[in-house]
Amino acid sequence: MSGDAISSKGVAMYLTKGAIPPYKVKPTAISKSEPTVVTAPAATPPEVSFRVTGITAGATTAFNVSASDFAALKASASAGVASVTFAGFTGAWLGMNGTKAATLGADGSNQFTVATDSSAFGAAPDTATINSTYTAAALVPAIGQLVRITNSGFTSIDGKVFPVSAVGAGTFTLLGSDTSGELGNMSIDAEMEIWDSSQMVRLCLTGFTFNPETPGTTAVGTYCNPSATLPQTAVSAGTATLTGWIDKNDPGYRELLDAADDATERIFSIVLPQEQGEIVAPITFSQMAWDIPLEGGMGFTATGALGSAPRHLFDLD
């Protein structure tokens, strides 16, 4: 180690949102190079679930949603019209099931309308019985998106998460990747998951710790060497612990609460300042604990299992 210490000022941490599935696409080519360049068509936008919070019958039927869902619908809309799909309506409201064109209201209204006259349908159904989805906006390839490739046949990248470091015409480059030593060709079964920046929430943490599993040993002693042992294989990547302050208005805190509740894997990303790259780790959270002191800030601790070992990814100058 010969370099000077580099300040952590400006570090940014993100967590993928569990409510929004990643985009999916089949790559058409993967280079054997350092870094790796992937060629791929446009990704398939995922279907995203959202919750209707209110229904108002009328000549056009109005639906209320949360502010965050309204913003997501607006991002997916074309000329103010989004495509939504309903299920769960019964009785006179049965015709509301299926895919509908939804006209978004003014900013801040958190409401959209569907051109179906429901004035004679009777009382609006309980919103808890209604399932609703929308098609996410088309993905625009961009630096900073997270990519996981599977079934490519290239062991150096399979199952691992990489940030996008450069974008070209129908191509993107994977930060810190190296497929220059791969043999054979890309498998026709290769698939990719892509998380856009809109699918990530920023975390304001006070600290984090990765706890890799330390494998044990198996005794293989003999009369000649009674203390002989063989190392065991680690059965998991270990755990991760994230700490921060309680704030119900912080999207990152709310996302961690959801993560501990739904046990859906999320990608934890640490973007380092001064072009020092990025640390990524898949985590499935399982527990939230709280620290409420007599005096001082109210804190939380989120704990989860690592899906694989954290990796520091960067390109050499």
Query: How many Å apart are CA 133 and CA 309, to the nearest integer?
Result: 34
How far, CA to CA in Å, does 229 sit from each of 106, 217, 221, 232, 233? 70, 6, 7, 9, 13
Q: Which helix (H) or strand (E) holds 134?
A: strand 131-135
Please say whether the beta carbons of 298 and 289 come within 8 A. Answer: no
Range name among 78-82, 83-87, 269-273 with the lowest pLDDT average: 78-82
Residue 233 pLDDT exceeds 70: no
Q: For residue 201, how far is the Cα from the chain centroid?
A: 9
Please say whether the beta carbons of 51 and 132 come within 8 A. Answer: yes
* pTM metric for this prediction: 0.83
Q: Which two tokens stand for residue 213?
A: 């599993």
- Tens digit of each residue's pLDDT (9 = 90 or more) over 89-123: 999 999 999 999 999 999 999 999 999 999 999 99
How many degrees, rounded to 5, is the angle at CA 52 between CA 50 and CA 56?
A: 155
**More confident call, 160 vs 19:** 160
Q: How many CB atoms lie within 10 A of CB 33?
A: 13
Residue 235 pLDDT exceeds 70: no
Please say whether the beta carbons of 36 and 177 come within 8 A. Answer: yes
**More confident call, 225 vs 26:** 26
Torsion-angle region of 184 (φ positive above 0: left; ψ -120 to 50: alpha; else: beta):
left
Q: What is the DSSP letter of 188?
A: T
Assign 129 to helix, strand or coil: helix
